[in-house]
Chain A
Amino acid sequence: MIMAEPATITNPEPAAAPVEMDLVRQAQRGDLAAYDELVKRYQERIYATVYHMTSNHEDANDLAQDSFIKAFQALKSFKGGSSFYTWLYRIGVNKTINFLKQRKNRVHMSLNDLDFNTENNPDLVALISDKTPRREAGLNELSEKLNAALLKLSEPHRVVVVLHDVQGQSHEEIAEIMDCNIGTVRSRLFYARQQLQSLLADYLKPT
């Protein structure tokens, strides 16, 4: 199973949009069954975003749950100015950034759960192919280095690179989630990539 497979997160399909708004309205009236449906709809995306920012499953679990709970508590203030998932993402991202700011000692994840599809991914296999300087590096080591490099980025830069390059969100969506303009998103993404490229230079295939 690929966790963050919905990499191209776009606005929900038009047919589903009214249903989502209906669910939101029902949840606003305190209908927990409707909110349960909303949680199920977005739990993987919210969890994945939080996880990629924290690199820790336990923290991601707590933060994702807290985000959904806070969203439910603040649901009456949701006026529908943006889509529900953008609003939800904003809560999750802000909650995670606050958490990371408070957490001084950053705990690196212990990656032991790459799925079996990883070895069949041609892009990843190519990364550790003969042309790779450190071909002895396994995928697990590569993942650990990747997470360590991500954790060296500042929170706003990490959010942008996770949302764009890992989650596949557009610049516009990220700008809406982070409440900033698109130019800021682009510059942050460029800077974050530069940083990552220098940190992971030994693991990147020479171009």
Chain B
Amino acid sequence: MNENENNFEALRRLLTLKRHELPPPGFFNGFSDQVIARIRAGEAGNVRTAVKRVSGTSWLSNFLQLFEFKPAFAGAFASALCLLLIFGIVYADRPDSGPQPFLTNTDSSGASFATVTPAAMPSENYAADLMASNNPATSLQPVASFLGSESAFAQPVSFSPSGN
């Protein structure tokens, strides 16, 4: 090893030149101050964030910050929102009034729906028809018929005279 040290003696002396390389004058005077200031700034930044979180400017920003720090809370909130939406859709499909019996005549005259001829229905029981036609669950006229497709209720009829 000593032989190696001797072989590199010139190089080692050359490397001592590195010790004479200097930073800018007065560099170390404020070095520690800068380090401490950066540490304080980092700590102050955290405190500021915490203070802002506690007494933030708006409840919405605080609420959104909860999502940032607690992803599970965001998932729970989204699930609750979805459940609320599904219940809303289900209950919105129900009629506003109580359940009505299918094809029940509400006319006060006492004439039953079965005895009323189809041609006379619009004129004689207009309110009930209107309600029935507006309610997709009880409507006698399927929506598909409006689109031109054949429905189970509308079948082609031939009026050819019998006996011919």
Please list the residues of chain A having a beta carbon within 8 angstroms of any beta carbon in chain B: 1-5, 7, 32, 35-36, 39-40, 43-44, 47, 51-52, 57, 60-61, 64-65, 68-69, 72, 111, 113-115, 117-118, 121, 123-124, 126-127, 139, 142-143, 146-147, 161-162, 165-166, 186, 190, 193, 196-197, 200, 203-205, 207
- Inter-chain contacts of A142 with B (CB < 8 A): 14, 17
Instruction: Please indicate the chain A residues that have their CB under 8 angstroms from the CB of B7 in the complex.
Output: 197, 207
Contact assessment for B14 and A39 in the assembled complex, using a CB-CB cutoff below 8 Å: no
B24 interface hit (Cβ, 8 Å): yes
B13 touching A47, Cβ below 8 Å: no
Q: Which B residues are in CB contact (< 8 Å) with A193?
A: 4, 8, 11
In this assembly, does B42 line the interface, its C-beta being within 8 Å of a C-beta of chain A? Answer: yes
In the assembled complex, the CB of B16 is this many whole angstroms from the nearest CB of chain A, namely 6
CB of A57 within 8 A of CB of B24, answer yes
**Interchain residue pairs A-B with the least CB separation, the first 4:** A39-B32, A4-B19, A123-B13, A165-B15
Q: Is the interface of B mostly helix, strand, loop or mixed?
A: helix
Residues of chain B in range 23-71 having any CB-CB distance to chain A below 8 Å: 23-24, 27-28, 31-36, 38-40, 42
Q: Count residues on chain B whose CB falls below 8 Å from chain A CBs.
A: 32
In chain A, what residue has the closest Cβ to B6? Answer: A207
Whether A121 pairs with B31 at a CB distance below 8 angstroms is: no
Contact of B11 among A2, A61, A204 (CB under 8 A): A204
- Tell me how far the C-beta of A178 lies from the nearest C-beta in chain B, rounded to whole angstroms: 19
B residues less than 8 Å from A51 (CB atoms): 21, 23
Other A-B pairs beyond A3-B23, A69-B38, A72-B39, 18, CB < 8 Å:
A3-B22, A32-B36, A32-B40, A35-B36, A47-B28, A57-B23, A65-B31, A69-B39, A69-B42, A113-B22, A113-B23, A126-B13, A147-B18, A165-B12, A193-B11, A197-B11, A204-B10, A207-B9
Residues of B within 8 A of A115 (CB): 20, 22
* Partner among A36, A123, A143 whose Cβ is within 8 Å of the Cβ of B21: A143
Contact of A4 with B18 in the complex, beta carbons under 8 Å? yes
In the bound assembly, the distance between CA atoms of A62 and B35 in angstroms comes to 10
Contact status B40-A166, CB under 8 Å: no
| A160 CB to nearest chain B CB (Å) | 12
CA–CA, A111 and B22, complex, Å: 9
- Which residue of B14, B16, B22, B36 is within 8 Å of A1 (Cβ)? B22
